[in-house]
Structure 1
Amino acid sequence: MRRLYTLLFYAALPLVFLRLLWRSRRNPAYRMRWRERLGYCNVGLPTGAIWIHAVSVGESQAAEPLIRQLQTDFPERTLLVTTTTPTGADHVAKLFGDAVIHCYFPLDLPFAVRRFLDQAKPAMLLMMETEIWPNLLGECASRGVPTLLANARLSAKSARGYSRLGSFARAVFAGIDHVAAQSEEDAERFRALGVPPERVAITGSLKFDVRLPASLFEQAEVIRRGFGHRPVWIAASTRDGEEEPILKAHRRILRAIPGALLLLVPRHPERFNNVAQLCKRQGFSLVRRSDREACAPRTEIYLGDSMGEMSLLLAASDVAFFGGSLMKFGGHNFLEAAAMGMPVTFGPHMFNFATISRMFLEQGAAVEIDSAESLASIMIRWLNNAGERSRVGEKGRTLVARNKGAREKLMALVTRMLR
């Protein structure tokens, strides 16, 4: 079955590169460094590096506390971080600079995987969240490179999809050396798919181990002063098709609270221009962060079209809506906002964060909305009621603090694997 998977991947290879070219129309970085995707990572790595794979921005953000702890506990080890997307690469560079080595993740084809492992010679492979690559896992097993699926999660939908692959999926999952699951539900799904029970541990989510430096709030205060004395709400990590209901909600909010400002932050940079045009077509007064223009009192929308500043814009807001949840994208991580003591809301499609979102809803630390009308309603309520805003935000902050500790559990597991 793995041979069939490989043959199908080879057949699809032209489509893979055509897709990269297609995406490069909006982000030219997709045309660059293709050799790395074919397994060439000629960066002079010493033997024994710790290899961390984080697909894109969200995964690299979640991996930050773990990577910083690895730097502290294993200063003699080189850290190799791979991503799949250019935005992930940019985020790694912003977080760590030259303190880690970055390469693009090799395609899961035998020649690319072998070439990459020949050059990288890692002591172990740590994959973030849900990265299941049959050829890579098989080659690591044959070379004795231990593998750890960290901060691991698996939705019920994904588990059903893997289960349809029968013995092939079970053989692949059985080849993972350790799974550090976010929750008991995730752990049970991994066990059901073939990971031996003794290899599955529940370590919680790294996303709770949020780091909020004082300098973040100092910089955010500068931005906030530029907005003037008015209420500010943020729509963070919005996806295609979500801006229309968000703008509809903002129009309602402006009728109830004249002067309210929306910080609109699309998830993907290749959509920045399209979202800006949509706002202007709908008659909103817009300022773009990238233009570094002053935000005038008449400005209705501030477009966050810069990279790596989500934390800053969150800290400059009063309340937050998180995208990827009105449409069926699975939602995005809202824990940083919660750690700031900010009330958060999201749509009904949070299947990538099912356990965490359910926890917040049950504790009254977040609100779920399903339409422009319900989004406008909760935002108007929160923006008009500082007391309720504070109570809901404090519940979220408490939940984040109570669930910290995944980093320490993961580090104990990594230390055992490197002995």
Structure 2
Amino acid sequence: MNRAVYTLGLRALAPLVWLWMARRAKRAGGEWGIFSPERFGRAAPARGTPGRIVSDRDAPQAWDAAPVWVHAVSLGETRAAQPLLQALLDRGLPVLLTHITATGRAEGARLFADAIARGQLRQAWLPYDFPGATRRFLAAAKPRCGILIEREIWPNLLAAARRAHVPMALVSARFSESSLRQAGRLGAVMREALAGLDLVLAQTAADAERLARAGVPRSSVSGNLKFDLSLPQDRVREGQAWRTRLGRPVVALASTREGEDGPFIDALKRLAGTPGGPLFLLIPRHPQRFEEAAALLEQAGLAYVRRSTGQAPEARTTVLLGDTLGEMAFYYAAADVAVVAGSFAPLGGQNLIEACAAGVPVIVGPHTFNFQQAANDAIEAGAAQRQADPAQAVAAALALLADPGARQAASDAARAWFASHAGATARTMEALAPWLR
């Protein structure tokens, strides 16, 4: 498939993509700007006023200097990019941060509220990958370089960057066997896009090897930016104090995804009515699933409270439903053990690094291909363990609660493993240095 065929297919499928986005926006809430000018490259955010749109004729004057453009598609990538974005801001560089999802944009606004207020960081929607939209976006933003986080490869966007002489980097890149197969199905259009990258920094040697097979001519291993995250200490202290006041063991069932809440809730039913037993924090990954999880808890007859109400759990409460955003550091700091979900259905798993940074022993499921190297390394280091299904994960969590020595050893291993992998941000900034002067 060449790029012309790819573009025709993208245009043909666009109405279905917009319908999917509209449905997701309806479930998740938030402003998605599906048909906003930004999505078509016709506008850019004005300096210091993230909610106001200026025309693309006026947009270049809104920038004080050529910005560093960083693209973080959604919530996970925005969090992953936080250390790098902070390093760029600390250098005094202007930053344009783009997203595709509303959750990613909301997290960026939360993490960098001060930089947005002073006009150093601006947010925008990434334009759809149409040739005209990507060309207009780059003409308006005039970035000195573009940095794509993890695996955001858009053929027309990269082609437009080449024509505009904007150097492009893919950093903290992860590329699974599944990604390699998808790239193979797209054929020439993906090989052209990957070959056009000026800099590729992979998370692991295995990622670099798969990227080479997909068409990247050269890459290096810089590590995973997520190991350089700094947990917000106010949230950590709040979580620890909350756990002390609670006076009960706490198990976090974190980042559950489709098809996982039901089996976890089934595993918790036998604990119902055990006063003073463990409190389980059920934390769905996506906000559109908060109501679904609440309905399942109702159907199961489990005593639960919602975090969003501020109601304190009672002795009879089995579950606290984590129906809030931006509080993962609080939840992990409050937990004695963390089950990191997204890995008990074939979805690839969710990030276990944040839990290890909080010094919490981790349990994952069998499907961790999105974080395969990290999961395997954490297990080998004694920071994590793997269980086959939600019932076994809950049983393993209870076993750790019953064995303080084993739990402390796993906690110490988690902190040590996290600390040993730091430095990806410094290596990335060093590789980007020629573009940042």
Determine if the TM-score, normalized by the shorter chain, exceeds 0.5: yes
How far is 1:26 from its partner?
Answer: 1.7
> Deviations 1:209-265 (Å, cap 9, x if unpaired)?
121343233211332245x21111001110011011111222345588952101011
How far is 1:98 from its partner?
Answer: 4.7
CA contact (8 A) 2:33 2:39 kept: no
Aligned to 1:350: 368
Aligned to 1:223: 242
- The more displaced of 278-287 and 40-49 is 40-49
Cα 1:126–1:31 shift into 2, 3 Å = closer
CA distance in 2: counterparts of 1:370 and 1:329, whole angstroms: 14
Kindly report which structure 2 residues correspond to 1:292-311, keeping only aligned pairs within 5 A, or say none.
292-311=310-329
How far is 1:13 from its partner?
Answer: 1.5
CA contact (8 A) 1:137 1:175 kept: yes
Aligned to 2:164: 143
How far is 1:32 from its partner?
Answer: 3.5
Cα 1:148–1:368 shift into 2, 3 Å = same
Aligned equivalent of 1:85, options 78, 83, 101: 101
CA contact (8 A) 2:307 2:323 kept: yes
CA contact (8 A) 1:29 1:86 kept: yes
Aligned to 1:95: 111
Aligned to 1:121: 142
CA contact (8 A) 1:91 1:308 kept: yes
CA distance in 2: counterparts of 1:273 and 1:45, whole angstroms: 41
CA distance in 2: counterparts of 1:182 and 1:372, whole angstroms: 29
Aligned to 1:65: 83
Cα 1:289–1:255 shift into 2, 3 Å = closer
What code does the residue aligned with 2:95 have? L
Q: Residue 341 of structure 1: SS of its match in structure 2?
A: coil
CA distance in 2: counterparts of 1:65 and 1:131, whole angstroms: 18
Aligned to 2:424: 406
- The more displaced of 169-178 and 368-377 is 368-377
Aligned equivalent of 2:340, options 322, 325, 348: 322
- The more displaced of 25-34 and 281-290 is 25-34
CA distance in 2: counterparts of 1:136 and 1:403, whole angstroms: 32
CA contact (8 A) 2:180 2:210 kept: yes
What code does the residue aligned with 1:83 have? H
Aligned to 2:33: 32
Aligned equivalent of 1:272, options 266, 287, 290: 290
> Deviations 1:254-279 (Å, cap 9, x if unpaired)?
58895210101101101101111110
- The more displaced of 149-158 and 252-261 is 252-261
What code does the residue aligned with 2:39 have? R
> Deviations 1:332-372 (Å, cap 9, x if unpaired)?
11111112211001111100001111111222221111123
Structure 1 residue ranges without an equivalent (≥5)? none
Aligned to 2:118: none
1:210 aligns with 2:247: no
Q: Residue 230 of structure 1: SS of its match in structure 2?
A: coil
CA contact (8 A) 1:324 1:330 kept: yes
Kindly report which structure 2 residues correspond to 1:361-376, keeping only aligned pairs within 5 A, or say none.
361-376=379-394
- The more displaced of 297-306 and 204-213 is 204-213
Aligned to 1:162: 183
CA contact (8 A) 1:253 1:380 kept: no
CA contact (8 A) 2:155 2:189 kept: no
CA contact (8 A) 2:344 2:390 kept: no
* CA RMSD in angstroms, aligned pairs only: 1.7
CA contact (8 A) 2:263 2:390 kept: yes
Aligned equivalent of 2:201, options 168, 180, 183: 180
What code does the residue aligned with 2:372 have? A
- The more displaced of 11-20 and 312-321 is 11-20
CA distance in 1: counterparts of 2:195 and 2:229, whole angstroms: 32
CA distance in 1: counterparts of 2:241 and 2:382, whole angstroms: 31
CA distance in 2: counterparts of 1:165 and 1:24, whole angstroms: 28
How far is 1:169 from its partner?
Answer: 2.4
What code does the residue aligned with 2:221 have? I
Q: Residue 327 of structure 1: SS of its match in structure 2?
A: coil
Aligned to 2:268: 250
CA distance in 2: counterparts of 1:241 and 1:186, whole angstroms: 28
Q: TM-score, normalised by structure 1?
A: 0.95
> Deviations 1:173-215 (Å, cap 9, x if unpaired)?
1001110100001111111222122xx1100111111213432
> Deviations 1:66-92 (Å, cap 9, x if unpaired)?
11111112x1x3111111111111110
CA distance in 2: counterparts of 1:92 and 1:106, whole angstroms: 17
CA distance in 1: counterparts of 2:274 and 2:316, whole angstroms: 16
Cα 1:182–1:31 shift into 2, 3 Å = closer
Q: Residue 52 of structure 1: SS of its match in structure 2?
A: strand
Q: Residue 307 of structure 1: SS of its match in structure 2?
A: coil
Aligned to 1:7: 8
> Deviations 1:124-182 (Å, cap 9, x if unpaired)?
10000001100000110111100010100100121122123333322221001110100
Percent of aligned pairs sharing the same letter: 39
Cα 1:289–1:117 shift into 2, 3 Å = same
CA distance in 1: counterparts of 2:190 and 2:33, whole angstroms: 33
What code does the residue aligned with 2:131 have? P
CA distance in 2: counterparts of 1:174 and 1:201, whole angstroms: 14
Structure 2 residue ranges without an equivalent (≥5)? 47-61, 116-120
What code does the residue aligned with 2:408 have? S
- For these two proteins, the number of residue pairs brought into alignment is 414
